[in-house]
Amino acid sequence: MSKLILFIQGLYQFVRYDIWRITEHELTKTRKFTYRTLKTIVISVRGFIDDQLNTKASALTYSILFAAVPCVALLLAISKGFGIETYIKNWMLESFSEHTEVIPNLMDFVERYLSTTRGGVFLGVGIVILLWSVMSFFMQVEGAFNDIWQVKKSRSFVRQFTIYFSTILILPILIVVSSGLSIYIHTFFSQSFLYDIIISPIIRFGVKLTPFVLNWIIFTLLYLLIPNTKVRFINALVAGIFTGTAFQLFQALYISGQINLSRYNIVYGSFAAIPLLLLWLRISCLIILLGAEISYAMQNTHFFEYETDTKNISRRYKDFITIFITHVVVKRFEAQEPAWSSEDIAQQYNLPIRMVNQILFELVDVKILSVIYDEKSGEKTYQPAFDINKLSLYVLFDKLESHGSEQFLTNKKVELEDFWKKILVLQESRKELFRDVLIKDIEK
């Protein structure tokens, strides 16, 4: 028992602290994959808790209930324009067959909703309400994804409108093409003499696999396009496969579980489908948001290196790293070498990327460094924003220490004011030692 306890304590110590102190540059390919997978799991679980995915899933469920009729109405209106309205209706009834009591009512709501927008004064108002309802839903989805990706700024309204309605416009065509292709393949191969022996089992397996593949594609595109940041395809693909598989398995579990939930009919009667629908929507939203956490965690494992240590970093050591990063940028500028990004600095000197980004942000904020943004690659590099022949340690410390608001207290006591002046004199005398020490000459 004591050995088991020691093992659990050691495992906790490793997962909580030690694994984050090992950078990927120190590992072999096999260990790198193993460590990255373990870090992704830990970050995803932590994100599930810290980002309050349960609350976000509940909010999205509420939004879906309001946006369901306008979204389906817009989808059917577009499909009617292509002459495939009946086909899309049948596809929806088959795809959501587990909600046999809800879907017909939804279709009825949609028909009545569309009928109010076909003429008269309600034509313009109805279309505006329809488009705004759909836009509002997609904006909330993007907001939830941006929160997970820690993106502070959403796309412009024009870009959002273009992306979301282009997707809705293409969706009916993709549904018809994918279904038509499967029918064509089945018809074509059924004429082969090897159909019963070889092709038929393959087709049966393909039919069972098709919902999974479609979910993988849909969720991969979801994680690739919706966050307002650059998401690597491999990270979106892995998250899409996980989410698509989990979603499809949950669908099967939900359908089989409905048989055992017949007692709801006793309590809710004809309304039994409503709580079941809410349960299905909420868990589905939770699975989708968890997939977003996985894609974020996979792409940003390196941001969490030395996380615990950097949160508890001493003032002295942070000053040292700040001086060193400034020195690196200045020396490259003096040598007329290409400017480095935060990733370049972190990789070259095995520094935690999150700490490097924080320090670079502070140095840019106090106008010691400036950002060079490459529009083609989207890369941000850094160069001095100050004359390097005048950039001394005194200037660096003075700008860092004086940045922000001071002397904002009202009704100050005389003792407080006198003490402030004495401290300023002491700090100034300490900084005087560094007045002639230029950042670029520290190594000399």
- CATH 1.10.10.10 residue ranges of the chain are 307-441
The string of pLDDT tens digits covering residues 382-415 is: 999 888 888 888 888 888 888 888 777 777 778 8
- What is the per-residue pLDDT for 32? 79
The string of pLDDT tens digits covering residues 30-62 is: 777 888 888 888 888 888 888 888 888 888 888
Region 138-162 average pLDDT: 81
Region 172-200 average pLDDT: 55
Give the burial string for 118-134 (b: 16+ CB within 10 Å, else e).
Answer: eeeeeeeebeeebeebb
The string of pLDDT tens digits covering residues 353-383 is: 778 888 999 999 999 999 888 766 667 899 9
- What is the per-residue pLDDT for 122? 46
> Helix (H, G, I), strand (E, B), or coil: what is residue 352?
coil
**How far is the C-alpha of 129 from the C-alpha of 114, rounded, in Å?**
12
| Bigger pLDDT: 441 vs 207 | 441
Q: What percent of the chain has pLDDT over 90?
A: 11
5 token code pair: 């306890």
**How far is the C-alpha of 106 from the C-alpha of 113, rounded, in Å?**
10
- What is the per-residue pLDDT for 121? 44
- What is the per-residue pLDDT for 120? 47
Region 158-164 average pLDDT: 77
CATH code of the region 307-441: 1.10.10.10
The pLDDT confidence band at residue 291, using thresholds 50, 70 and 90, is very high
- Separation of first and last alpha carbons in the chain: 59
Residues 6+ apart with CB under 8 A from 15: 38, 42
The pLDDT confidence band at residue 84, using thresholds 50, 70 and 90, is low
Region 204-218 average pLDDT: 74
The string of pLDDT tens digits covering residues 317-360 is: 999 999 999 999 999 998 899 999 888 888 888 787 778 888 99
DSSP code for 412: -
Q: Write down the pTM of the prediction.
A: 0.68
